[in-house]
Amino acid sequence: MIYLVIALLAEAKPIIAHLNLTKSSDKPFKIYSSPDYKLIISGMGTQNASIATAHLLTLSPPTKNDFLFNIGICGAPDSFDIGEAIMINKISSSKRHFYPDMSLRHKFKEASILTVETPQEDKCDRCVDMESSAIFSTALYFLKTGQLSFIKVVSDHFSSKIPTKEDINSWISPHLENFEILFKNADKLREKRPLISTELKEKSLKIVEKLRLSHSQKLQLDDALIYYVLCNNSEPILDIPNRQENKLQRNNYFEDLISSLK
Amino acid sequence: MKTSSHHLNDRFSHIYVEKSLLHSKDVLTIKTKFPKATIVEIEHYKDVFNRTSQEYREQKKSLSLILAKKENPFLYKGSNFSDDFGFENFFYTPSMLNCLYDCEYCYLQGMYQSANIVLFVNTEDFFAQLQEHLNKPTLVAISYDTDLLAFDPLNQVTQWLNFAQIQENMHIELRTKSANYRPLQKLKPNDRVTIAWTLSPQSVIEKYEHKTPSLKNRLNAIKILSEAGWKIRICFDPMLDIENFSEIYEPFVDEVFSEIEADKLSQCTIGTFRIGNKHLKNIKKMQHSALAFYPYEIKNDMALYPKKRNTFLIETIEKIVLTYMSKDKVRVWQEQ
């Protein structure tokens, strides 16, 4: 699953259309979904961004295979062109710095960003937005540093002019193909098959129950199963034992089972 | 399913540099060695290295480099897992944290949250603190939580060996799996410097010591440096309890001594895999290597092979080693 946190509907609209997402929730936040994507419109500012991120990731808890992108417009120094897309490698707030892992290959220029509480009109030596630090710090309750990515599109060089929906659309739209490639690459990067299949997990739980294994014996069995799978690159064939009459029988059965997995 | 590596940035595509070092000579050197790298300014290395919610295994696929200035302390007491070779003063120096290699049994996986490499540039501060202890013979392991010879963009090995050359009480142990003999070839051999080369059978290297040089290349490096007069210790340590242990390890030991003249070696150490239980627990969470799930015996918070099996592994190899080297040159790692 790819999660997208976007502040404004105007920023999200071209992405929603490009990925064919449909509205799945209206309140407290608008959410647009497809089988592979969940996009939330957070609203502007750190508080909205934080609550929306937590809401999205609580509603649909992520796994190790998932990835979250924050996409939106930002103010930037003159060295960046209006409409240029930037991959963020450092996020600063007034109090802290955050660093997303930069393992995902991309085609954008990179820069650091400062998250502020109110729109910035004074010149600054780095990019400025109003959400990144809040999204990063909230998302870390659910995801790892390597599952987060922040892309900003330059909307102004610190001017007070409010961009129109059309302006925003014209800045975001040229990057849609590259965004989608990045989403798909992130998805592939995180794609992993669990080491132990659900079927084997269920079988091992039945064995635990039938043999009335203690907690430490259960851990021993879990370790032995993982050891077997990693050594053999395949899962063992386990039989569910019949009811064992006494503790001695159960323990013997257990010891034989562990030996067979070595 | 395997990860497609072309979706990942190359190793050291990003170099994090502490603000105070941004314009230092060392950082300029690093920039010339990695001209395509993106430099990210940081306040303190721990802001990146000690972040919460990192994934060691994922980061290992696309390493970043962190350049920092180490703060006190610069020396640490040698651990019980290592042989002090009879030195009362035995320290290790963390000039670098983490390693370029990716050995499945490595304790570093369970030690740090991050796989990224921290390189401390202020070697002179390490020297200054060490100087205080050099009133008596002192052993310093300079390649401890890393393999310094494998990745040494600032020539720190040379700096350390030059320092040792003028300090009569200073003994250096340089541990490595690298095949990089060139920095040492340029220097005058020093009797107080021991290069400790970890050797494993080629099949073990391929299966468990990822990204390390082949046995052939390690042996070639040993041959060149031993003939040049450097003190070399070969280490059959850690030996792994693998299937067909004897069939794999016995011919391997013979191969090593057929390539290297035993007389030219200062020592041989033999030891089996052991690890702190806390580190083992962390490594288990990664579910990456079968080695972590071996049914070890836990003793004094250390995971070891079961005593009987351990004795067999050690004795099998010790017997062969002793046909090539005299007993006084062979050290067997024993639980403290």
For the cut 80, the answer to whether the pLDDT of residue B80 exceeds it is no
Over range B97-104, report the average pLDDT. 97
Q: Measured between alpha carbons, how far is residue B283 from residues A261, B105, B180, B189, B293 in Å?
A: 20, 9, 29, 38, 9
For the cut 80, the answer to whether the pLDDT of residue A245 exceeds it is no
Of A103, A145, A224, the CB nearest to B53: A145
For chain B, what is the largest distance between any 2 Cα atoms, rounded to a whole number of angstroms?
Answer: 57
| pLDDT score for B1 | 35
Other CB atoms within a 10 A radius of the CB of residue B186 amount to 10
Q: Which chain A residue has the Cα nearest residue B294?
A: A227
pLDDT in tens, A251-260: 888 999 999 9
Interface contact B62-A103, CB threshold 8 A: yes
pLDDT in tens, B12-60: 999 999 999 999 999 999 999 999 999 999 999 999 999 999 999 999 9
pLDDT band at A6 (very low <50, low <70, confident <90, very high): very high
- A-chain residues near B61 (CB < 8 A): 103
- Distance CA(A226)–CA(B287), nearest Å, equals 7
pLDDT in tens, A14-42: 999 999 999 999 999 999 999 999 999 99
Interface contact A104-B61, CB threshold 8 A: no
Per-residue burial over A61-99, b = 16 or more CB atoms within 10 Å of its CB, e = otherwise: ebeebbbbbbbbbbbbeeebeebbbbbbbbbbbeeebbb
Q: Which chain A residue has the Cα nearest residue B207?
A: A231
Q: Which chain A residue has the Cα nearest residue B56?
A: A146
pLDDT in tens, B310-333: 999 999 999 999 999 999 999 998
What mean pLDDT, rounded, does chain B reach?
A: 94
- Residue to mutate among A57, A101, A144, with most B CBs inside 10 A, is A101
| pLDDT score for B144 | 87
Interface contact A188-B4, CB threshold 8 A: yes
SS (HEC) of B33-50: HCCCCEEEEECCHHHHHC
Q: What is the pTM of this model?
A: 0.93
Cα of A164 to nearest chain B Cα, Å: 33
Interface contact A99-B294, CB threshold 8 A: no
Of B4, B53, B293, the CB nearest to A144: B53
Interface contact A90-B62, CB threshold 8 A: no
Cα of B311 to nearest chain A Cα, Å: 19
| pLDDT score for A116 | 95
Q: Are A58 and A51 in contact (CB under 8 A)?
A: no
Q: Within its chain, how far is the Cα of A136 from the centroid?
A: 10
Q: Within its chain, how far is the Cα of A46 from the centroid?
A: 19
For the cut 70, the answer to whether the pLDDT of residue B4 exceeds it is no
- CA proximity to B95, closest of B63, B117, B64, B62: B117
Over range B141-163, report the average pLDDT. 95
Tokens 């403290």 -> residue: B336
Per-residue burial over B259-282, b = 16 or more CB atoms within 10 Å of its CB, e = otherwise: ebeeeebebbbbbbbbbbbebbeb
Which amino acid makes up residue A170? S
> Using beta carbons and an 8 Å cutoff, which residues of A are at the interface with B?
89-90, 97, 99, 101-105, 110, 112, 140, 143-146, 185-186, 188-189, 191-193, 195, 220, 223-224, 226-227, 230-231, 258, 262
- A-chain residues near B288 (CB < 8 A): 230
Q: Measured between alpha carbons, how far is residue B315 from residues B244, B298, B321, B334 in Å?
A: 15, 21, 10, 12
Segments of chain A assigned to CATH 3.40.50.1580:
2-190
| pLDDT score for B314 | 97
Interface contact A104-B8, CB threshold 8 A: yes
- Distance CA(A45)–CA(A116), nearest Å, equals 8
| pLDDT score for B24 | 95
| pLDDT score for A28 | 96
- CA proximity to B170, closest of B196, B143, B147, B141: B141
- Distance CA(B329)–CA(B316), nearest Å, equals 17
Q: Are A249 and B308 in contact (CB under 8 A)?
A: no
Cα of B7 to nearest chain A Cα, Å: 5
SS3 B223: helix
Q: Are A126 and A114 in contact (CB under 8 A)?
A: yes
Characterise A97 by phi-psi region: left (phi > 0), alpha (psi -120 to 50), beta (else): beta
| pLDDT score for A119 | 84
Interface contact A227-B7, CB threshold 8 A: no
pLDDT band at B156 (very low <50, low <70, confident <90, very high): very high
pLDDT in tens, A182-218: 999 998 888 777 899 999 999 999 999 988 999 999 9
- Residue to mutate among A57, A93, A99, with most B CBs inside 10 A, is A99
- Distance CA(A203)–CA(A220), nearest Å, equals 15
| pLDDT score for A242 | 81
Helix extents (H) in chain A: 9-18, 46-59, 132-139, 165-172, 176-190, 198-210, 215-232, 247-260
- B-chain residues near A100 (CB < 8 A): none
For the cut 70, the answer to whether the pLDDT of residue A166 exceeds it is yes
Counted residue by residue, chain A has a size of: 262
| pLDDT score for B334 | 73
Q: Measured between alpha carbons, how far is residue A13 from residues A67, B9, B314 in Å?
A: 20, 30, 67
- Distance CA(A60)–CA(B54), nearest Å, equals 21
Mean pLDDT lowest for which of A90-99, A219-228, B65-74, B81-90?
B81-90
Q: Are B180 and B221 in contact (CB under 8 A)?
A: yes
Quickly name the fold that domain A2-190 has.
Rossmann fold (3.40.50)
What mean pLDDT, rounded, does chain A reach?
A: 94
- Residue to mutate among B53, B116, B241, with most A CBs inside 10 A, is B53
pLDDT in tens, B49-73: 999 999 999 999 999 999 999 999 9
| pLDDT score for B167 | 95
Counted residue by residue, chain B has a size of: 336
Of A104, A145, A195, the CB nearest to B51: A145
Cα of B237 to nearest chain A Cα, Å: 22
For the cut 60, the answer to whether the pLDDT of residue B2 exceeds it is no
Over range A69-89, report the average pLDDT. 97
For the cut 50, the answer to whether the pLDDT of residue B3 exceeds it is no
Q: Are B101 and B147 in contact (CB under 8 A)?
A: yes
0.95 surpassed by complex ipTM = no
- Distance CA(A177)–CA(B120), nearest Å, equals 41
DSSP string, B235-302: EEEEE---TTHHHHHHHHHHHHHHHS-GGG-SEEEEEE-EEEHHHHHHHHHHT--GGGGS-PEEETTE
Q: Which chain A residue has the Cα nearest residue B289?
A: A230
- B-chain residues near A186 (CB < 8 A): 7
| pLDDT score for B82 | 67
- Distance CA(B331)–CA(A151), nearest Å, equals 56
